[in-house]
Amino acid sequence: MGKTWEFFTIFNSTLLGSSQTSRVNITISCVDNDNDNICSDVDNCPYTYNPDQNDTDGDGIGNVCDNCVNVNNTNQTDSDNDGIGNVCDNCPYTYNPDQNDTDGDGYGDACECLQPYVITQSKNVTQNQLFTFESGVKCVCSNCGNVTATLDPAAIYCTDSPCIASSGLIRSRGNITPVSEPNHPNTIDNCRDGSSGTYLSDESIENITITDLNGTSFQPGDTVQVDIWVYCYSSSDNLNFIYTSNIVTPLWVVKGSYNCPGSGFKNFSKKFVLDNVFGEHAIRGSLQYSGSPTRTCGNGSYDDNDDLIISVGSTLSKGIIPMNNGTPFYTINNNPQICSNMLENQTCNKT
């Protein structure tokens, strides 16, 4: 702990031709609050005994006092004070030290107000054959508000304006940790998200809203405003607004590209005119690290791509639903459907 210096004083006499030497030892010790023989000013856990100084994530905080041992988080922010840091907490704003996640979707039970209630098992059907299946959720919070039920194996689908892909559906990116994207891949083709990085440290699209500026339904030739809320890693990121008026054989066109001014949450907005085409159109947000302003799919390991489908000029409550593989199919009932003002212990089933 301490370090000792030895000092000598030498006395010489020119008259007598003799000398004398005296010696003194001075030991300087440092403060060691946790008695682990590591000085507190260089101890990565100055108030917790840890002589091994292990630091798995390399954030300068020792494992024994780090609230996210495997995720770099130098600020140690823990908004709900449950001992789990925000960057690795599956409910960062709701106290849940047990981190229980019954359905394994990356959201802790304590903050997941909607729980699966009933769902039809897998079915094998042929093209043009009618079939039905049922799914439902239960509200386990005091008030879940209006809940949207969307049948879509690929991307979020809307018939009315505004069309919103909320953070509950598209936050984060792909399978990155500690929170994965709920509805990934959320694209209508083979464009996929990058798998590198950490949520709210690296790139992710958090919310997309499409608003028809001419009314409450999307019509050919209308002007739409697209707002995309993202988390930027740095000024090296750019966000591309991309559009197609044919989701079966999409021909993507970049409508605008914007550079992130720095790290953190940013909102970008773009207005453009829909093609004069009836049917299902799609709008994609593509957040790319060191990407190109002309690229219609971010294919880098830190890139996030999310699509929204809008029904343009629809007069019937049905719509085409794209498949990642295979033939598209149609829904007879309105898609999406709304479960209005769900309260605690209420269930909502849709067929």
Give pLDDT, residue 350.
Answer: 57
Q: Percent of the chain, pLDDT > 70?
A: 70
Give pLDDT, residue 325.
Answer: 45
Reference 283, options 334, 202, 211; nearest CA is 211
289 contact partners, CB below 8 Å, separation of at least 6: 194, 203, 233, 236, 237, 298, 300, 302, 303
Give the count of alpha carbons within 13 A of 13, CB side only. Answer: 7
In this prediction, the residues of the chain whose per-residue pLDDT falls under 50 are 315-330, 332-335
Reference 231, options 186, 287, 300; nearest CA is 287
Cα(151)–Cα(178) distance, integer angstroms = 27
Give pLDDT, residue 167.
Answer: 81
Give the number of other CB atoms < 10 A from CB of residue 123.
9
Give the number of other CB atoms < 10 A from CB of residue 295.
18
Cα(155)–Cα(321) distance, integer angstroms = 8
Joined together, the tokens standing for residue 42 give 């260089």
CATH class belonging to 151-335: mainly beta
> Rounded to two decimals, what is the model's pTM?
0.53
Q: Percent of the chain, pLDDT > 90?
A: 44
Element (H, E) at 170: helix 167-170
Cα(103)–Cα(99) distance, integer angstroms = 12
| Domain boundaries along the sequence of the chain | 1-66, 73-106, 151-335
